[in-house]
Structures are given as C-alpha cells and as structure tokens.
Amino acid sequence: MTTYIARRLLTVIPTLLGVLLAVFLMVRLAPGDPAQLLAGEFATPETLADIRQRFGLDQPWHVQLGLYAVNVLRGDLGQSVRTRKPVTYELSQYFPNTLRLTLGAMLVALLIGIPAGIIAAIRPGTVFDLLAMLGALIGVSMPVFWFGLMAILIFSVQLGWFPVAGTGTLWHLVLPAITLGTGTAAILARMTRSAMLEVLSQDYIRTARAKGLTGRVVVFKHALRNALIPVVTITGLQFGGLLEGAVITETVFAWPGIGQLLVGSILARDYPVVQGAVLLIAVAFILINLVVDLLYGAIDPRIRYD
C-alpha cells in the first residue's frame, strides 16, 4: 500500500508540470495587456514599463515560466497584480468557502442519488422507478444557473426561507449546495440503479435468496458492496467536477469562493492568481482520484495494490 501511494504521488509531479505549462501558455496567449489594465487607459509609457518590470512581464516567456516553476516548488505562487497580496493568501481566503460548498453539494448528491438508485433497482418498472429516472433526467438536463435563479426566486424572494446570497450561516449554504448537487445526484442515481441491476442478476444473488436470506441482507450485504465500485469512481470524478463547476453557482449566489476569484482574475488578466487557482484545483482533483483508488481496496478486498 505504501509503495503504491508513493508511486502515485510521484506521478503527480509530471501531471502538475503539464498543468502548469498549459495554464501558463493559455493565460499568456489570451488577448489584453495586464500592465495596461492595472495602470488604466491613460497610463504613461514609464508607468507601464515600471509595472512590467515589477511583475516580471518584461521577461521572455521561457524565463517567466522557469522562474514561476522554481517559485512554485518553494511554495511561492507569486503576487496578485490587482491586490498586491500573495496568491497563497488570496487562495486561503477563498478556497475554504469553495470546499464547504462542494462538500455540501456532494452530501446532497449522496443522500438523494444513491438511495434513489437503490430503490429504483430493487423495484424496476414501478412508479417509483419511473419517477426516479424522470427526476434524474431532469436533474442532468437542467442548467445550473437557471435552477439557481429559480431557487432564489421561489425559496428566497417568494417564501423568504433562505438568504438570497452571501455566506456566514448554514442557511446560506442550503440553496447553493442543492443547486450544485442536483446534477451529481441525478448521475449517481442512474449509475447506482444500473450497477445494482447488473449485480442483482448475478447467480450468487439468486443463491443467496435461495438460502432464505432476507431481501435487506441480500441487497445491502451482498449486492450493494459489489455495485459500489463504479459508483465510487463516478463519485470521485463528480467531486472533482464540482470543484470546477462551482464557478457558476458561486456567481449566481455571490458565494465568495475560488470560482468568483477565478472569474474576476481572468477578466482582470491577473495571471498569478489565475495560475495559482487552476493549480490548486488540479492538485485537489489529483488527490481526490488517489483517495478513490484507495477506496477500491476497502470496498473489495480482492483488489491488490502490488
């Protein structure tokens, strides 16, 4: 296990270097001059030159990339062009909010998606099965921004149950978490139903039933455990996707997370913050996938990491 974890962590290095290179090039190829945006429309050439020199923008691209890579290895992600504060400080202010929102959305998805998928698989062709799959189809098809706006209109403006926007209390989290988690709940419901139906048709399930085991024991002890591996895989991928997809939800609900920081930084051509935020999301995504791989062994003891 230790060897496997060390080997996986080593593979993170070239992955991060690739992400760093891709983000660096994409940001630099985007139109617009960050020095001009920072100094304003009527800035003098001397002011622009001073800003470019201060932030290293006057250096060739390969020099900027090399310096940035070395600084990242030291834990220094640079300084924000807009606020003049360290990028690590900016990320530390916004990332906890995004993590809280993502965990809330994943909790919503797990509490709705997996039970709905299990019940739909146990009772295929029934009214509940049809309603669950119809709900899953709607959940997958519904645009996040539209669902968020409808939730605000109904539950905040009309009924007054939840705050319209912002953060601070648990009530602020409810609507954004439901908005972000609904699509994932729909995907998990469909995946759980499909995996459970396949497992329930296996011979060992029929044997377990022939032995007189109760339906609950057959489903939760024999079927669900074997059906969880594809569900865990999708859950891990969706969790990483929620981190990225939180951008729209954070914008709709004015949630001060990485998504809002990233959008504002892109519009302002704040290169250091954009690069730092994308790197942070990439690291989180890689670590989530590592955790998912380790969970396979906990779910199915037949899986070895040699």
Asked whether the predicted pLDDT for residue 159 surpasses 70, the reply is: yes
As a whole number, the mean pLDDT across the chain is 81
Helix (H, G, I), strand (E, B) or coil at 174: helix
**In this structure, are residues 236 and 289 in contact, taking their beta carbons and an 8 Å threshold?**
yes
pLDDT in tens, 265-279: 887 778 788 888 888
The string of pLDDT tens digits covering residues 6-56 is 777 777 778 878 887 887 777 777 666 667 766 666 777 777 777 777 777
> Percentage of the chain with pLDDT > 90?
2
Asked whether 154 and 194 are in contact (CB, 8 A), the reply is: no
pLDDT in tens, 82-106: 788 888 998 898 888 888 888 899 8
Question: In this predicted model, what pLDDT tens digit does every residue of 122-146 receive, in sequence order?
Answer: 888 888 888 888 888 888 888 888 8
Strand positions, DSSP E, the chain: none
Whole-number pLDDT of residue 164? 80
Going by pLDDT thresholds of 50, 70 and 90, the confidence category of residue 210 is: confident
The residue count for the chain: 306
Packing angle, helices 224-252 and 144-151, rounded to 10: 70
**Mean pLDDT of the region 57-69:** 79
Given this model, what pLDDT does residue 111 score?
92
CA distance 137 to 146: 16
Indicate if the pLDDT at residue 180 is higher than 80: yes
Buried b (16+ CB within 10 A) or exposed e, 247-260: bbbbbbbebbbbbb
d(CA 254, CA 176): 10
Task: Kindly report the pTM of this predicted structure.
Answer: 0.77
- Interior angle at CA 116, CA 96 and CA 206, nearest 5: 125
SS3 string of 106-163? HHHHHHHHHHHHHHHHHCCCCHHHHHHHHHHHHHHHCCHHHHHHHHHHHHHHHCCCCC
